[in-house]
Structure 1
Amino acid sequence: MKAMILAAGKGERMRPLTLHTPKPLVQAGGKRLIEYHLEALAKAGFTEIVINHAWLGQQIEGYLGDGAQFGLRIQYSPEGEPLETGGGIFQALPLLGDEPFLVVNGDIWTDYDFSRLKQPPAGLAHLVMVDNPPHHPSGGDFYIKDGLLHDAAPGADNLTFSGISVLHPKLFAGCSAGAFKLAPLLRTAMAQGLVSGEHMDGRWIDVGTLERLAQVETLLTVGQ
């Protein structure tokens, strides 16, 4: 199974750090954020990685190269303009092949074991969900019932999408090149009972702000 790291975001809420450095190359605990994903993917047995990029993307290619330093083979999917999650994955499909592939957001930090996802999903997608974080306390994206995901609903045990998933290329059937979101495709597949989910209990931080980057730094250096 191949894996894709989404690394095209501009990281505007993390300025000034991201004015001259792409968010995946911001450091925490003495390491670039994207390195934690690459090391975890290699440990889980993945070898073929695709990374999309837009803002300052050549820095990512220059730093990571072909991935040999991580025991990986990295290919890149550069975007002239950000294509959002759906459009970015769709553009990279020729590099990802015809089989299900793992996707992970480049701007999260987690200790999740990616080897858990090496089994292809029964449907079109499998999403890893987390408890709603402090910055998204009463929201929630979807809820799990009998192993399947459903759109968030009042009174349901709604959870937040972690940014970790396994997707089947057929999820993108009928899509056209350009910028588009992933969520509508997932909701269409959910309505057909084709999206499974799991609730992870490990550590996970959406590194979207300087404050949450500091949380990762604390976890890594102090172990709290």
Structure 2
Amino acid sequence: MRHALIFAAGRGERMRPLTDTTPKPLLPVGGKPLIVWHLEKLAAAGVNYVVINTSHLAEQFPDALGDGSRWGLRIRYAYEGAEPLETGGGMLNALSLLGDAPFIAISGDIWTDADFTTLPLEPTGLAHLLLVDNPPHHPDGDFALDAHGLVHDTGTARLTFSGIGVYRPQLLNNWRDVVEATDTQPTRFKLAPLLRAAMADAAVSGTHFRGTWTDVGTPQRLQELGQTLDSRQT
């Protein structure tokens, strides 16, 4: 059994007014909601259990996706509350549903033709990241990938994190130390500081994906993606 997590809790501020009434992962593109493209690819890759993080307009997800049976999946929903918990807090919030084995995690607001079967069942370290060429709106990238397949926080040939990775739950073991949290603070934090801490210990591997990938962050990019997908189907 292989598990996956889809981050779908964000408010999608840059996508307004579309996201005032519809969560960004449920916006239609190419004839189906954006998140359904992920569900289909996960099912094709042998995943049979998916946790979806929700917050903004959370009730729309089970209404649209149900229990996942139409894709041969079992879907569970991890509600984060009225305020999204960011990627790190969202992953922490979902861990009790994901179990102890490594899992795939995907941002709900991207589109890609990457083959998820190529992702490792288990990362050699704490995480394995799919990296892509830097898009025009993010020219400086996020991380560097060396010749041995290790990902670093610094380096000259930088790539952009695609929002797709495989993670061991142990990545979050010391999250309080990394994000300097206290018991009085909410568990709202980004995943990037935990990844950078793991990179410092050579515990993050990666792959440079050269296929199609889009960060669907604005109405214009959503429209452009839709035109691309429509042209492929004609």
Give the TM-score normalised by the residue count of structure 1.
0.96
**What is the identity, as a one-letter code, of the residue corresponding to 1:92?**
A
1:93-172 counterparts in 2 under 5 A? 93-137=95-139, 139-145=140-146, 146-153=148-155, 156-172=156-172
Runs of 4+ in structure 1 over 4 Å off: none
Equivalents in 2 of 1:38, 1:159: separation in Å? 26
The answer as to whether partners of 2:24 and 2:109 remain within 8 angstroms in 1 is yes
Q: Report the aligned-residue RMSD.
A: 1.2
**What is the identity, as a one-letter code, of the residue corresponding to 2:144?**
Y
Unaligned runs of 5+ in 2: 177-185
Q: CA deviation at 1:118?
A: 4.2
Equivalents in 1 of 2:199, 2:7: separation in Å? 22
Unaligned runs of 5+ in 1: none
Give the TM-score normalised by the residue count of structure 2.
0.92
Output one character per residue of 1:11-47: Cα deviation in whole Å (capped at 9) or x when no partner: 1111111101111110111110000000111111110
Output one character per residue of 1:139-183: Cα deviation in whole Å (capped at 9) or x when no partner: 111011111000133xx1100000000010000003356101100
The answer as to whether partners of 2:107 and 2:164 remain within 8 angstroms in 1 is yes
Q: Which moved more, 1:97-106 or 1:111-120?
A: 111-120
The answer as to whether partners of 1:140 and 1:152 remain within 8 angstroms in 2 is no
Equivalents in 1 of 2:23, 2:137: separation in Å? 23
1:191 corresponds in structure 2 to 200
Equivalents in 2 of 1:85, 1:62: separation in Å? 24
2:219 corresponds in structure 1 to 210
1:91 corresponds in structure 2 to 93
Equivalents in 1 of 2:94, 2:121: separation in Å? 21
**What is the identity, as a one-letter code, of the residue corresponding to 1:116?**
T
Equivalents in 2 of 1:61, 1:84: separation in Å? 21
Q: CA deviation at 1:76?
A: 0.7
Equivalents in 1 of 2:69, 2:79: separation in Å? 20
1:2 corresponds in structure 2 to 3
1:7-46 counterparts in 2 under 5 A? 7-46=8-47
The answer as to whether partners of 2:175 and 2:194 remain within 8 angstroms in 1 is no
2:80 corresponds in structure 1 to 79
Equivalents in 2 of 1:100, 1:215: separation in Å? 34
**What is the identity, as a one-letter code, of the residue corresponding to 1:2?**
H
Equivalents in 1 of 2:201, 2:214: separation in Å? 31
Equivalenced residues, count: 221
